[in-house]
Structure 1
Amino acid sequence: MVQSIPLMIKEAAQRLPEIESKDFGSFFDKFGQSKVVLIGDASHGTSEFYRARAAITKRLIEQHGFNIVAIEGDWPDAKVVDRYVRHDPAKRPPTNTKDLGIFSHFPRWMWRNKETSEFVNWLREHDKSLPLESRTSFAGLDLSRWANQCVL
Structure 2
Amino acid sequence: MQAICEGLQGLVSDLQVAPCPTLLKLGAVQHLSTPIQAHLCPGRSVLDGLEALHPTPAVGGLPKAGALHFIRRHEGFDRGWYAAPVGWLDNQGNGDFVVALRSALLTPQGCHLFAGCGIVQGSRPANEYEETQIKLTSMEQALALAQR
What TM-score comes out, normalization by structure 2 length? 0.28
Higher strand share: 2
